[in-house]
């Protein structure tokens, strides 16, 4: 019975990590877009990417990818994170979660 209980706990923990990865990816995309909309047009791309990675810990940054696009008065950020096996910073599953956000550029006067 003990191995079954341990296996159940490990699977539940893995589900929690997967959900947390989705939360981190969505938050990183939101932060990237927020920084991108507030930056000057020449700095939007860099500000968006930097803000998208800023709040991620080192263990999550390793497999993180942030791409930002601007155009037509709109800023979009896409963040991809690898889902770790049991704890961040270890081996990753071949599963990648994605976060996406978009916002209208702020007017500069």
Residues 5-16 pLDDT 10s: 999 999 999 999
Burial 40-77 (b: 16+ CB within 10 A, else e): eeeebbebbbbbbbeebeeebbebbebebebeeeebbb
Note the pLDDT of residue 87. Answer: 75
Evaluate whether 75 touches 37 at the Cβ level (below 8 Å): yes
The string of pLDDT tens digits covering residues 46-83 is: 888 888 888 888 888 888 889 998 888 888 999 999 88
Q: What is the mean pLDDT of residues 6-35?
A: 92
Residue 109 has pLDDT above 60, yes or no: no
Domain holding 20, by residue range, is: 2-104
Evaluate whether 38 touches 106 at the Cβ level (below 8 Å): yes
Number of structural domains, the chain? 1
Residue 53: what are its φ and ψ, rounded to 5°?
-95, -15
Domain contains 25: yes
Residue 91 has pLDDT above 70, yes or no: yes
Domain contains 109: no
Q: Which residue has the higher pLDDT, 100 or 46?
A: 100
Q: What is the mean pLDDT of residues 92-109?
A: 81
Percentage of the chain with pLDDT > 70?
A: 97
Domain contains 58: yes
Domain contains 22: yes
């Amino acid at each position: 019975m003990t191995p079954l209980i341990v296996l159940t706990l490990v699977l539940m923990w893995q589900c929690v990590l997967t959900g947390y990865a989705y939360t981190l990816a969505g938050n990183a995309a939101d932060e990237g877009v927020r920084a991108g909309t507030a930056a000057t047009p020449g700095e939007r791309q860099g500000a968006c990417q930097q803000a998208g990675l800023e709040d991620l810990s080192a263990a999550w940054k390793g497999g993180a990818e942030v791409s930002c696009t601007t155009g037509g008065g709109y800023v979009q950020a896409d963040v991809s994170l690898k889902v770790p096996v049991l704890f961040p910073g270890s081996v990753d599953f071949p599963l990648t979660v994605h976060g996406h956000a978009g916002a209208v550029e702020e007017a500069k006067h």
